[in-house]
Amino acid sequence: MNTKTILEILVKMHQKIEEEKDFLTELDNAIADGDHGINMAKGFAVVESKLSQLQEQSIGAVLKTVGMTLVSAVGGSAGPLYGTAFMKAGMVMADKSIMDMNDFLACMKAAVDGVMMRGRSVQGEKTMLDAMIPALNAMEKANSEDLPAKAVVEAGVKAARNGVEYTKTIPATKGRASYIGERSIGHQDPGATSFTYLLDVVAKAL
């Protein structure tokens, strides 16, 4: 992947989030404050508006700009969490203009670490990490088996989807959904869901 591919993926991420905006908001409404879809769509709209200025930039610079834009435009929890994820990935890529699967997995690893640090959270708390961590593990495994890039990310999407299903079975212990405790069981986590959409966009683009 080069900068152009990354920019195309970001446009598709915005499209996907727009399509699923109401569904994400509905999911959030069931267990928390009902703004996830709205805020993500707002953030990715601002991201897309900045892409035309980034065509000549390194992948690292693009990802950092995306991260800072999400922090700034989204607010809430999704802003700092997704913002930190993209910024950490940007730091991994630095001034590189080509991203291979090892780079992509290093970015994902940095993103997971960043989200854990910023959200003071671990797996099993009904958050986006319940999709991110299984996805990362599955992709690392698939990559070690020398599968082609598309199959690697598809394995990640599959694991992320299972992670989303898993969030239905556990109560939230982090974020606003934790306030309703056991009542959050049965509902899937909106953050895990939106992460799965974004990863699926990457898989389809490969």
Partner 1 sequence: MKKFINAVGDVEKEMIQGILKVYPDKIKAIDCDGVLIRKEKNENKVAVISGGGSGHEPSFGGYVGKGMLDAVIAGAVYTSPSADHIYEAIKSVATPKGVLMIPMNYTGDIMNFEMAAEMAEMEGIKTEMVVTNDDVAVDNSLYTVGRRGVAGTVFVHKIAGAMAETGASLEEVKAVAEKANANVRTMGVAINPSTIPAAGKPGFELLDDEMEVGIGIHGEPGVRKEKLKSANEIVDMLLEKILSDLDFSGSDVAIMVNGSGGTPLMELYIINNHVHDVLLSKGITIYKTFVGNYMTSIEQEGFSLTLFKLDEQLKNLLDAPTDTPAMKV
Q: Which is nearer to partner 1, 39 or 65 (CB)?
A: 39
Provide the sign of the torsion angle of the four alpha carbons 2, 77, 28, 51, taken in this order.
negative
- Residue 38 phi/psi, 5-degree rounding, is -60, -50
Q: Which is nearer to partner 1, 31 or 201 (CB)?
A: 31
Q: Which residues pair with 2 in a beta bridge?
A: 98
In the bound complex, what is the minimum distance in angstroms from residue 95's beta carbon to partner 1? 22
Residue 33 touching partner 1 (CB under 8 A): yes
In the bound complex, what is the minimum distance in angstroms from residue 199's beta carbon to partner 1? 22
Name the nearest CA neighbour of 196 among 30, 40, 26.
40
Question: Would you give the binding string for partner 1 spanning residues 109-138, x where CB under 8 A is met?
Answer: ---------xx-------------------
Give me the amino acid identity at 201: V
Residues 67 and 90: beta-carbon distance below 8 Å = yes
Question: Would you give the binding string for partner 1 spanning residues 172-201, x where CB under 8 A is met?
Answer: -xxxx-xxxx-x------------------
Q: Which stretch binds partner 1 (CB under 8 A): 6-14, 95-103, 136-144, 169-177?
A: 169-177
Residue 76 CA from chain centroid, whole number: 15
Residue 77 touching partner 1 (CB under 8 A): yes
Type and span of the H or E element at 106 = helix 101-119
Name the nearest CA neighbour of 108 among 5, 202, 13.
202
Q: Which stretch binds partner 1 (CB under 8 A): 76-84, 96-104, 131-139, 161-169?
A: 76-84
Residue 81 touching partner 1 (CB under 8 A): yes
Structure-block tokens of residue 120: 């003071």
Interface positions with partner 1 (CB under 8 A):
25, 29, 31-35, 38-39, 42, 68, 71-81, 118-119, 173-176, 178-181, 183
